[in-house]
Structure 1
Amino acid sequence: MKKLFTDVAIIGGGGAGLRAAIAAKEKIPSLKVMLLSKKPLGVGGTTAIACSDRMAFHATLPYTLLEKDNWRHHAMDIYRIGGEVSDYNLAEILAKESADALEYLLSLSVPFARTKDGKIDQFLTDGSIYPRACYVGPETAVEIHRALLRRFKSLDIDLHENAMLYDFIVKENRVVAAKFVNTTTDEPFCVFAKSFVLATGGAGRLFKRNVFPSEMMGDGYAAALRAGAELVNLEFMQIGICHPHILFASSGSMFRSLPRVVDENGEEFLTKYLSPDDVNRLTELQFKKGAHWPVSYESPTKVIDLAVYAHLEKGHRVFLDFTKNPSYFSPESVPEEILKWSEKVDTKLFALPTPYERLLKINPAVVEWLRERHIDLSKEPLEVQNALQHFQGGVKINERAQTSLKGLYAAGECAGGQHGANRPGGNSLLDTQVFGKIAGENAALEAQNTHISDFQVEEERITGQIPATEARNRIMELVSRHGFLVRFDDELRKALDELERLEAKGIAKDEKGLAFLLETRNMLAVARAILTAELIRSESRGPHLKFETFNPPVMKFVPRKDEWNKYIVLRLVDGQLKHEIREPVRPREEER
């Protein structure tokens, strides 16, 4: 097998990977740094293509409310809104380092919006108490990626594109090498390094409904798991209302403008799936959906997500129609607390005749952004569906972004422990920059004091009975059907049994080649880990919705339980998936 050598190997070309590579090179310029990306830079990676009506970067700045110790409120938001199932020490790092992370991006000319007095403009986003969300517009993430890419190209960093990770080589609990396959040539190769940073993103493409780039199959999770690393919080995945094709999260301002939610026949169907009490307060629920965009057990707005899901499951399509008001809406029906909010835009916002005109007042940038993509909200509806949008968990890290294996760091969406069940909006982009920098710098420091390994590596000999295409389709069907928005214990057990039978039979290479086979093997490993975590957590919390009955409007949840204020850590031991229920790092008494 072909061998490559470097001091620091960064695996992943999104926001976290680029930040880690830049940080490693800036920390110790004499080191050889290599970045390996599954797709060409700018084509793959969630940060490079993610869009929403107002994509946010969460930051506590010197003038962010409350001005005294304001970072403490940010850290506590992350921890409490996360359901107390994340590590508070990591939340503190995110909050404390957020201003410096934003300042670095400003130094790279990211054009964050400013107020008239020159300060960075900040708005209140889902899951926050105080306004901290900085933004460029619908393409905030894209602008950040472009700026990082410019800086990356200015440095002497080796780049290998079309490189898919599929395994690590571990010696005495240290990662010494990583196995890759070229996705265009099917040629396997091995990278030897003194330290590694894993920044491969989430596994959203395991699910049929998602807003992830096509390459996000969970390669980093799978390789780390097989190497012996710990994974945490895999049952928590953010699911929101998104466009099915343009990878667009239809969040805050879209729902606050109160469009009609209709199907392909133009029928307003929500009331069919809601209780009488929820129907009576539907205007309020729909508006608040903008502040509670990812589905969450703790939010009453979850019934809107579940109504959309139930209607889609019956074979319908779903749209947001901004040309007319919902039948249940009238300006008089808007609650006082919402009218107070509207004063931030216009005291007569809800007197405007259509949702389109309200959206134009609240967020004109998204109207123009969609028009540029040939979607004119003044004339046509926007198609939406429930879609997986972000993995909250991943490979468990500590304050130094180090995993449970020596020589292996992780950052961004593939890392775990820094987020809980829920996540304040904008903290995922922040996470890529804060822990991307920490991972890159610490990997560089470790590489200074580590010797590189060199030994022969055999090529893979994988045999099995099930063709890779057939196996992949079955994996995706099982995960999408049983591990997505509506979860039942009995169905999860059956799905896991089938995955175990599939693994026992093995996956065979078919006409799609070696890279496809190895990627499918990764998908199987991650699918088993996700469904296992979902089965173990016997409660509802955040986006993890466990049901006793789901027949809307009858929705009987397994309730949230205080004894589950813990997280589930998964590890592969002698080929068997083992779990440990562990106490997260809690706030100090004086922080509570």
Structure 2
Amino acid sequence: MTDPSSIERHSYDVLVVGAGGAGLRAAIAAHDAGARVAIICKSLLGKAHTVMAEGGAAAAMGNVYSEDNWRVHFRDTMRGGKMLNHWRMAQLHAQEAPDRIHELEDWGALFDRTPDGLISQRDFGGHRYARLAHVGDRTGLELIRTLQQRAVALGIDVYMECTITKLFQSGGRISGAFGYWRESGRFIAFEAPTVVLATGGIGKSYKVTSNSWEYTGDGHALALEAGASLVNMEFVQFHPTGMVWPPSVKGILVTESVRGDGGVLRNSEGRRFMFDYIPEFFKSETADNEDEADRWYEDKTNNRRPPELLPRDEVARAINAEVKAGRGSPHGGVFLDIASRRSEEFIKRRLPSMYHQFKELADVDITAEPMEVGPTCHYVMGGVAVDADTEESIVPGLYAAGEVAGGMHGANRLGGNSLSDLLVFGRRAGTSAAEAAAALAGERPTIPDDDIRAAAEAALAPFERQGGENAYTVQQDLQDIMHRLVGIIRKADEMEQALEELDTLNERCSRLSVEGHRQYNPGWHLALDLHNMLRVSQCIAMAALERTESRGGHTRDDFPATEDSWATVNLHCVLDDDGSVAVRHEELPSMPDELRTLFEDK
């Protein structure tokens, strides 16, 4: 039995779980508000998945198109999300994103420039105007570098390679968190009246994903088990262009910047097929051949983007349709071609990371040959339901920002909105958490020894079992289930089958056993992560089965139409008293008339 007095303990005002863009921005904001802050990251500082966001951060600064403004950005975001977004979050995001980008620049971020010396902005899918501030195709890396440098300069405490397994509560509010050092396996407890979750996504529940190993739905599961609700979990974004070949780069993202800078999608017949999938009003105005079509799209007076820059859900479905029709590439994708469209010098200057990454890892020269790409699990729109202004969940003291938070993106996220989302709501979450901690003064909650002892025993349970299930086998089976049955195209009978198989996996998870010691034991780490992955997978499958329509990142083969009856309904996943997941319907908050008029005749 673990002795709680032997466990390492720390006390803070604000505990930030996750060191990506949202976590770092939250920690900086909380520090600036006067709080004593700690950042906990599962990996090493600087290795957050934010670095994989290559294309840019969306902000209506109007540096390329003076007509752009927050209202247009708000409208694009709402339409991209199929109007299921929380309108207030979309409004705040559009209004505050430019200030957050300028703030990064003040802190040392080196953005690409226009000829006039302003921050350059590029085209991206679903955005009416070019509005993505970028640093070549390494924008996420520059964002992390800048925020990390500032957090370190401020002296904020960082606990690297530390995983949180439990959130504590006392008196109806958050009181701290429990975790372990990945290297030694030793336990650690944090007392804190506020916790900001910034743990990212859920992609490792799927077989083909652009997500890194950390994305096991930890924050989603921690919040759910603390009593929060998860909203929009049926909406999983499959990025249209993940590499499908060679095997060494399977699932790795090909940034939307490749299409934003002129790359086109072709099927096995060499035809640029995306013209077949654009809305009818586009088709009526589009020229018959590719060269004329390019000139029409590049005419800056009509504000039209190429069909490859339709919202991601639409491009992903188009690729999927071509593959199912037998017009796919040899390895189950399509071809993304920029080599025939742009010069070698242009590609190396605008897309240096893409060029070097695929040349080194796969011997694919994107300046000379097309890439084989296909949909890859990339982002979950669903997450912790939070207050739009403060980012607090229904659990007092528990906040969320970034991909782990839900509501901002509705049914589908526009490319580039994720990086500005991190900045806007990371800052708001950190400030709100610091203010809440300060308001408690001398009434800070504490953690009973019995709670610490129970958390330690739960974490050590796999060591107590002999001859049980292997964590790697269970993970492989989970990924196969989600890929086959709850993937990009869904049907009721398949999702019902998925839920039955997930129930079986839950039973197998209760019999997981690991060998060896607690010192850096990947099998043990995965055994603990699997609990979170299964929780999140159940939420996705249950919400997807419940929503009997197709909308955004949720496509039902048996309900292919978008239904008006679902247009104002969000699904919330919660835990019932018996610990099982339940799905509840909630009406969207009503949008004010002054914002609703933005959608009239546009």
> Which among 16, 28, 31 is matched to residue 22 of structure 2?
16
Partner SS state of residue 313, structure 2: coil
- 1:104 is matched with 103
- 1:554 is matched with none
Amino acid at match of 1:21: A
1:499 aligns with 2:502: yes
> Which among 354, 366, 375 is matched to residue 386 of structure 1?
375
Amino acid at match of 2:163: M
Judge conservation of contact 1:242–1:387 (CA < 8 Å) in 2: yes
User: Unaligned 5+ residue runs, structure 1?
Assistant: 323-353, 549-556
1:7 aligns with 2:26: no
- 1:292 is matched with 310
- 2:342 is matched with 358
* 1:510-535 Cα deviation digits (max 9, x unpaired): 23543221111111111111111111
The verdict on how the C-alpha distance between 1:269 and 1:67 changes in structure 2, with shifts beyond 3 A counting, is: closer
Judge conservation of contact 1:203–1:391 (CA < 8 Å) in 2: yes
- How far, CA to CA, are the matches of 2:401 and 2:448 in structure 1? 28
The verdict on how the C-alpha distance between 1:312 and 1:108 changes in structure 2, with shifts beyond 3 A counting, is: farther
Partner SS state of residue 460, structure 1: helix
1:481 aligns with 2:487: no
Q: 1:411-422 to 2 correspondence within 5 Å?
A: 411-422=401-412
- 2:116 is matched with 117
The alpha-carbon deviation at position 153 of structure 1 amounts to 1.0
Judge conservation of contact 1:231–1:396 (CA < 8 Å) in 2: yes
Partner SS state of residue 159, structure 2: strand
Q: 1:458-469 to 2 correspondence within 5 Å?
A: 458=453, 459-461=456-458, 462=461, 466-469=469-472
The verdict on how the C-alpha distance between 1:419 and 1:367 changes in structure 2, with shifts beyond 3 A counting, is: closer
- 1:25 is matched with 31
1:241 aligns with 2:238: no
- How far, CA to CA, are the matches of 1:35 and 1:95 in structure 2? 27
- How far, CA to CA, are the matches of 2:265 and 2:426 in structure 1? 40
> Which among 356, 378, 385 is matched to residue 372 of structure 1?
356
Judge conservation of contact 2:170–2:445 (CA < 8 Å) in 1: no
The alpha-carbon deviation at position 314 of structure 1 amounts to 10
User: Unaligned 5+ residue runs, structure 2?
Assistant: 298-304, 516-521, 597-602
- 2:302 is matched with none
- 1:330 is matched with none
- How far, CA to CA, are the matches of 2:67 and 2:222 in structure 1? 43
* 1:161-194 Cα deviation digits (max 9, x unpaired): 1112222122343121212132233333222112
* 1:541-589 Cα deviation digits (max 9, x unpaired): 11211103xxxxxxxx521101111211111121121222112223211
Amino acid at match of 1:472: Q
The verdict on how the C-alpha distance between 1:160 and 1:94 changes in structure 2, with shifts beyond 3 A counting, is: same
Judge conservation of contact 1:256–1:289 (CA < 8 Å) in 2: no
Judge conservation of contact 2:386–2:406 (CA < 8 Å) in 1: yes
- How far, CA to CA, are the matches of 1:148 and 1:258 in structure 2? 31
1:576 aligns with 2:569: no
TM-score in terms of structure 1 length: 0.83
The verdict on how the C-alpha distance between 1:7 and 1:367 changes in structure 2, with shifts beyond 3 A counting, is: closer
Judge conservation of contact 1:243–1:250 (CA < 8 Å) in 2: no
- How far, CA to CA, are the matches of 1:314 and 1:488 in structure 2? 25
The alpha-carbon deviation at position 500 of structure 1 amounts to 1.4
The verdict on how the C-alpha distance between 1:361 and 1:292 changes in structure 2, with shifts beyond 3 A counting, is: farther
- How far, CA to CA, are the matches of 1:282 and 1:164 in structure 2? 55
- 2:545 is matched with 535
Judge conservation of contact 1:255–1:289 (CA < 8 Å) in 2: no
> Which among 557, 560, 569 is matched to residue 558 of structure 1?
560
> Which among 433, 445, 453 is matched to residue 435 of structure 2?
445
1:404 aligns with 2:404: no
Amino acid at match of 1:470: T
Judge conservation of contact 2:232–2:407 (CA < 8 Å) in 1: yes
What's the C-alpha RMSD, in Å, of the aligned pairs?
A: 3.0
Q: 1:75-90 to 2 correspondence within 5 Å?
A: 75-90=74-89
- How far, CA to CA, are the matches of 1:127 and 1:270 in structure 2? 19
- 2:518 is matched with none
Count, aligned residues: 536
The alpha-carbon deviation at position 358 of structure 1 amounts to 3.0
- 1:143 is matched with 142
- How far, CA to CA, are the matches of 2:218 and 2:61 in structure 1? 35
Partner SS state of residue 4, structure 1: strand
Amino acid at match of 2:44: P
- How far, CA to CA, are the matches of 1:89 and 1:228 in structure 2? 23
Amino acid at match of 1:377: I
- How far, CA to CA, are the matches of 1:270 and 1:118 in structure 2? 35
- How far, CA to CA, are the matches of 1:126 and 1:420 in structure 2? 16
The verdict on how the C-alpha distance between 1:189 and 1:93 changes in structure 2, with shifts beyond 3 A counting, is: same
* 1:404-455 Cα deviation digits (max 9, x unpaired): 1111110001001111112232110000000000111111111112214132
Judge conservation of contact 1:110–1:144 (CA < 8 Å) in 2: yes
The alpha-carbon deviation at position 256 of structure 1 amounts to 7.0
Judge conservation of contact 2:339–2:368 (CA < 8 Å) in 1: no
The alpha-carbon deviation at position 16 of structure 1 amounts to 0.5
Amino acid at match of 2:563: K
Identity over aligned pairs, percent: 30
The alpha-carbon deviation at position 380 of structure 1 amounts to 3.7
1:454 aligns with 2:444: no
The verdict on how the C-alpha distance between 1:282 and 1:501 changes in structure 2, with shifts beyond 3 A counting, is: farther
* 1:337-381 Cα deviation digits (max 9, x unpaired): xxxxxxxxxxxxxxxxx8434365875534543333324224344
The alpha-carbon deviation at position 290 of structure 1 amounts to 2.5
- How far, CA to CA, are the matches of 1:282 and 1:307 in structure 2? 20
Q: 1:123-522 to 2 correspondence within 5 Å?
A: 123-239=122-238, 240-244=240-244, 245=249, 247-254=252-259, 257=262, 261=266, 288-292=306-310, 294-296=312-314, 302-308=317-323, 316-318=331-333, 320=335, 322=337, 355-358=339-342, 365-373=349-357, 374=359, 375-398=364-387, 399-450=389-440, 451-456=444-449, 457-458=452-453, 459-461=456-458, 462=461, 466-505=469-508, 506-511=510-515, 512-522=522-532
- How far, CA to CA, are the matches of 1:268 and 1:141 in structure 2? 33
Judge conservation of contact 1:469–1:510 (CA < 8 Å) in 2: no
- 1:35 is matched with 39
- How far, CA to CA, are the matches of 2:328 and 2:539 in structure 1? 25
Judge conservation of contact 1:204–1:212 (CA < 8 Å) in 2: yes
Amino acid at match of 1:83: K
Amino acid at match of 1:304: I
> Which among 580, 587, 594 is matched to residue 590 of structure 1?
594
